[in-house]
């Protein structure tokens, strides 16, 4: 069926594309995991994934720069249901292959509609369903799906618009300007002078990967980050005896390491700071100014820690193939960048590893019963649903532990909630503030004292809030949640079923 809204051109006709009992938006790690659990636990329901890109993998589909890899171990970043076999830290292509396997083993491909970008989602209480509008990336066609339950798995950043500050003189620069989120397949760095702007994991991953071929790579950072250099052969695996070398044991061992890092960062940040400094010092060239280039202005783990297996980033520095300039950009010039000290750095290629533009729920415009949803007025329910938004869950994984540890638990909780609805014969569930929550303090999505990554801070004003009590809190750490989420009370009055 085709419908045309009054006054719209024929090209804007919207075609009815069908109904899915459960509709998942995004075919990244979260969406693929959600589809697995939904199909396993609700075999009688139809499950469909809408994905804006040409392929699945999300982050690992979009990011194709040289050396792209995880900074979490894959024993916890991989799904609980599909044991990871391989080194703890994995390349982007290896993670994509793992996701390919999940899709092939579970026959998920036929449940994914690629090049389907969701633009709006409207809930109707009268019909007890969502209507989701889609624009096809290839044809521009507009489609309309309906669903009983909407699962938002679009990640946290805009895959099409990376963050790049507007530096003075940018227009003048005559060299090649690249963002790691859009790495040109045919970019040849051989013999080129490269500047990488940024100090995070992306910069530290990219630099050793291109330093061999480039004439020289300069990391230009405003301020330093923390780095951890684990041995690439999995130390924890080496410590386990042959009979103990199971996926479960490796997973628990890696969780224990993450627990230690996260807890030490909270309880004794100075000790952790010293640990980072002392582990980096011997890997740096003689006389290297560690205070200037490697001493962050924040506590360890207040932003993500860069992982550089076997210290490959430091190796590039020691070999003289890479160097660091810690300064602010005064201006781009025709041939490179002048920094505030007056130093000019020449570059044939400038890579802006300056991070993400955060995107809330894939920039989908939400409405409930015809009223647009302003998420800044809303409060999260356990970091899984949003107050006043019926039959909608989202996945936001951990920032300090592996994302997927949380994604797996969110799927358990949503499954339990759907079972609870079935048992009660309910077709609608809405997180709703209870009388005792009436005067509850509204807190930001993320407390900057706790975690202050630029992409979250830049978007904080556009995000939903948290409350000061459960279930309106989104815990950031696995150690806080691992016993809480599985036991979440679905009958404490904060979820209204009908
Ligand atoms: C280079 C890099 C390395 C990282 N390494 C780690 C790591 O080691 N450990 C860790 O825990 N985290 C890491 N992260 C964070 C990472 O984003 C998450 O781990 C995880 O991949 C998020 O998965 P996701 O499926 O929720 O979202 P994404 O991977 O962002 O995928 C979302 C998908 O949804 C699609 N989508 C978005 N909006 C729409 C829409 N409106 N309509 C249709 N489709 C839409 C996108 O096209 C995309 O395919 C890394 C991030 C980056 C960029």
For 284-335, the pLDDT digits (tens) are 999 999 999 999 999 988 888 888 988 999 999 999 999 999 999 999 999 9
Q: pTM score, two decimals? A: 0.95
- For residues 131-137, average pLDDT: 97
Q: How far apart are CA 396 and CA 403, in angstroms?
A: 8
The answer, yes or no, to whether residue 4 has pLDDT greater than 80, is: no
Identify the residue whose C-alpha is closest to ligand 1 atom 21: 59
pLDDT at 2: 43
Nearest to 26 by CA among 497, 403, 461, 476: 403
Q: How far apart are CA 425 and CA 443, in angstroms?
A: 35
* 396 Cα to the center of ligand 1, angstroms: 10
Identify the residue whose C-alpha is closest to ligand 1 atom 49: 58
- For residues 174-195, average pLDDT: 97
- For residues 425-449, average pLDDT: 95
Least confident of 68-77, 230-239, 259-268, 328-337: 230-239
At the topology level, CATH places domain 2-159+358-497 in FAD/NAD(P)-binding domain (3.50.50)
* 29 Cα to the center of ligand 1, angstroms: 7
- For residues 144-153, average pLDDT: 98
The answer, yes or no, to whether residue 51 has pLDDT greater than 90, is: yes
What is the separation of C-alpha 44 from the centre of its chain, rounded to a whole number of angstroms? 31
124 membership: H or E segment, kind and range = strand 116-124
Q: How far apart are CA 223 and CA 291, in angstroms?
A: 11
Q: Specify the DSSP class assigned to residue 117.
A: E
Average pLDDT, the chain: 94
- For residues 471-484, average pLDDT: 95
pLDDT at 303: 87
The answer, yes or no, to whether residue 450 has pLDDT greater than 60, is: yes
pLDDT tens per residue, range 79-125 = 999 999 988 999 999 999 999 999 999 999 999 999 999 999 999 99
Which token pair is 382? 């356990």
The C-alpha angle with vertex 461 and arms to 456 and 465, in degrees rounded to 5, equals 85
Any residues with Cβ below 6 Å from ligand 1, and which?
25-31, 50-53, 58-59, 61, 63, 68, 70-72, 77, 117-118, 153-155, 159, 202, 362, 364, 395, 397, 402-403
The answer, yes or no, to whether residue 235 has pLDDT greater than 80, is: no
The answer, yes or no, to whether residue 444 has pLDDT greater than 80, is: yes
- For residues 267-290, average pLDDT: 93
- For residues 140-151, average pLDDT: 98
* 157 Cα to the center of ligand 1, angstroms: 7
Nearest to 388 by CA among 443, 428, 431: 431
Identify the residue whose C-alpha is closest to ligand 1 atom 27: 155
Atom of ligand 1 nearest to the CA of 28: 25
| Domain spans, the chain | 2-159+358-497, 170-352
pLDDT tens per residue, range 325-373 = 999 999 999 999 999 999 999 999 999 999 999 999 999 999 999 999 9
Q: How far apart are CA 487 and CA 25, in angstroms?
A: 27
pLDDT tens per residue, range 366-420 = 999 999 999 999 999 999 999 999 999 999 999 999 999 999 999 999 999 999 9
- For residues 204-223, average pLDDT: 97
CA distance readout (Å), 332 to 47, 195, 340: 50, 12, 11
* 30 Cα to the center of ligand 1, angstroms: 8
Selected from 3.30.70.3280, 3.40.190.90, 3.50.50.60, 3.20.20.70, the CATH number assigned to the domain covering 170-352 reads 3.50.50.60
Atom of ligand 1 nearest to the CA of 398: 11
Given this chain, do its domains 2-159+358-497 and 170-352 carry the same CATH topology? yes
- Give φ, ψ of 60 to 5 degrees: -85, -15
The answer, yes or no, to whether residue 5 has pLDDT greater than 70, is: no
312 membership: H or E segment, kind and range = helix 312-318
Identify the residue whose C-alpha is closest to ligand 1 atom 52: 59
- For residues 263-282, average pLDDT: 93
The answer, yes or no, to whether residue 8 has pLDDT greater than 50, is: no
Nearest to 176 by CA among 350, 344, 378, 335: 350
pLDDT at 12: 65
Q: Is 108 helix (H, G, I), strand (E, B) or coil?
A: coil
| % of the chain surpassing 70 pLDDT | 97
pLDDT-derived band at 1 (thresholds 50, 70, 90) equals very low
Atom of ligand 1 nearest to the CA of 396: 26
CA distance readout (Å), 206 to 66, 68, 95, 185, 316: 6, 7, 17, 14, 11
């Amino acid at each position: 069926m085709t419908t045309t809204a009054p006054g719209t051109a024929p090209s804007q006709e919207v075609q009815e594309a069908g109904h899915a009992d459960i509709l998942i938006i995004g075919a990244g790690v979260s969406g693929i995991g959600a589809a697995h659990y939904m199909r396993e636990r609700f075999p009688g329901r139809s499950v469909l994934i809408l994905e804006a890109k040409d392929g699945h993998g999300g982050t690992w589909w979009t990011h194709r720069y040289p050396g792209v890899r995880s900074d979490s171990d894959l024993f916890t970043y991989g799904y609980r249901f599909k044991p990871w076999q391989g080194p703890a830290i994995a390349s982007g292509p290896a993670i994509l292959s793992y996701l390919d396997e999940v899709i092939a083993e579970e026959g998920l491909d036929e449940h994914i509609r690629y090049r389907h970008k969701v633009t709006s989602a409207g809930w109707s209480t009268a019909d007890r369903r969502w209507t989701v509008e889609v624009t096809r990336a290839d044809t521009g066609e507009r489609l309309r799906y309906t669903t009983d339950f909407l699962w938002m798995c679009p990640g946290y950043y805009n895959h099409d618009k990376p963050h790049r500050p507007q530096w003075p003189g940018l227009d003048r620069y005559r060299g090649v300007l690249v963002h790691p989120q859009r790495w040109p397949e045919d970019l040849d760095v051989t013999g080129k002078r490269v500047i990488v702007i940024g100090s995070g994991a992306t910069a530290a991953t990219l630099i050793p990967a291109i330093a061999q071929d480039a004439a020289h790579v300069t990391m230009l950072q405003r301020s330093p980050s923390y780095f951890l250099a684990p041995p690439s052969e999995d130390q924890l695996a080496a410590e386990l005896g042959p009979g103990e070398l199971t996926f479960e044991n490796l997973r628990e061992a890696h969780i224990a390491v993450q627990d230690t890092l996260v807890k030490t960062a909270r309880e004794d940040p100075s000790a952790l700071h010293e640990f980072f400094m002392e582990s980096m010092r011997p890997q740096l060239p003689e006389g290297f100014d560690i205070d200037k280039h490697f001493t962050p202005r924040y506590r360890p783990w207040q932003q993500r820690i860069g992982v550089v297996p076997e210290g490959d980033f430091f190796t590039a520095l020691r070999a003289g193939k890479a160097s660091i300039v810690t300064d602010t950009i005064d201006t781009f010039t025709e041939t490179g960048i002048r920094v505030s000290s007056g130093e000019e750095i020449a570059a044939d290629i400038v890579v802006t590893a300056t991070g993400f533009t955060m995107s809330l729920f894939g920039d989908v415009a939400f409405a409930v019963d015809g009223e647009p949803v302003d998420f800044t007025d809303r409060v999260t329910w356990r970091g899984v649903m949003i107050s006043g938004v019926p039959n909608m869950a989202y996945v936001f994984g951990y920032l300090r532990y592996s994302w997927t540890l949380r994604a797996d638990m969110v799927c358990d909780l949503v499954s339990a909630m759907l079972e609870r609805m079935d048992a009660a014969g309910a077709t609608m569930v809405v997180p709703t503030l209870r009388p005792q929550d009436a005067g509850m303090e509204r807190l930001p999505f993320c407390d900057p004292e706790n975690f202050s990554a630029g992409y979250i801070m830049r978007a904080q004003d556009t995000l939903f809030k948290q409350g000061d009590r459960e279930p309106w809190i989104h815990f950031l750490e696995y150690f806080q949640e691992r016993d809480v989420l599985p036991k979440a009370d679905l009958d404490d009055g904060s979820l209204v079923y009908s």
